[in-house]
């Protein structure tokens, strides 16, 4: 049962998340941030990770705390679901086209969090959503999920497409990286014997 669930409550946010790595991509998302909900739906659907997210935040300030704290909680739930990481494929990558945009993603479920984010947005907003929050989400998610995550948009002109290609690319790479490799026979995929 590769599942994780986290509740996180601070003075700024109240977050509850649950995920199932062996799902079918079913999502039930409600953060109060419409574009972010759309991106999390894409993350679930294209990773085939079932995901439930409930978030309330200090949106009278802005959406930053809500987006970042959802990333923290989802990362923690992912780490919980991965457990000892036995049998994992571990490494995966994806080059994802989205109309005029092309984004490259590589992930290592290493237990050593690191984010390389080489993506620029031509606008500061997508509707009401601050494009800076795309990086903030992935920083929190990778940091708390124990992922080495490299994300680079090679080209693109539409901010919506750029953001969506990032979420879909991460989803596709994550789907492959967290898959069980039957040839691993339950071994941890590292010469160290632990991740």
Average pLDDT over residues 183-188: 89
| Contact (Cβ atoms closer than 8 angstroms) between residue 116 and residue 150 | yes
Q: Is 159 helix (H, G, I), strand (E, B) or coil?
A: helix
Q: How confident is the model at residue 194 (pLDDT cuts 50, 70, 90)?
A: confident
Whole-number Cα distances in Å, 151 to 90, 97, 104, 116, 181: 17, 13, 6, 6, 24
**What is each CA distance from 32 to 18, 29, 131, in whole angstroms?**
17, 9, 16
Q: pTM for the complete prediction?
A: 0.97
Quick: pLDDT tens for 100-124: 999 999 999 999 999 999 999 999 9
State yes or no: pLDDT of 91 exceeds 90: yes
Confidence of residue 1 (pLDDT cuts 50, 70, 90): confident
């Amino acid at each position: 049962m590769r599942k994780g669930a986290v509740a996180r409550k601070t003075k700024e946010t109240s977050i509850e998340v649950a995920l199932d790595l062996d799902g079918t991509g079913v999502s039930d998302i409600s953060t109060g941030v419409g574009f972010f909900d759309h991106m999390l739906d894409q993350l679930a659907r294209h990773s085939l990770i079932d995901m439930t997210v409930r978030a309330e935040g200090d949106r009278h300030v802005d959406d930053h705390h809500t987006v970042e704290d959802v990333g923290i909680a989802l990362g923690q739930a992912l780490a919980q679901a991965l457990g000892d990481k036995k049998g994992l494929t571990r490494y995966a990558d994806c080059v994802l086209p989205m109309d005029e945009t092309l984004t490259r993603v590589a992930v290592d479920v290493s237990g050593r969090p690191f984010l390389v984010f080489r993506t620029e947005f031509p606008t500061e907003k997508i509707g009401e959503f601050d494009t800076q929050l795309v990086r903030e989400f992935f920083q929190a998610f990778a940091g708390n999920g124990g992922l080495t995550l490299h994300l680079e948009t090679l080209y693109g002109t539409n901010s919506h497409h750029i953001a969506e290609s990032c979420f879909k690319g991460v989803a596709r790479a994550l789907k492959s990286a967290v898959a069980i490799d039957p040839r691993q026979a339950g071994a941890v995929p590292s010469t160290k014997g632990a991740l």
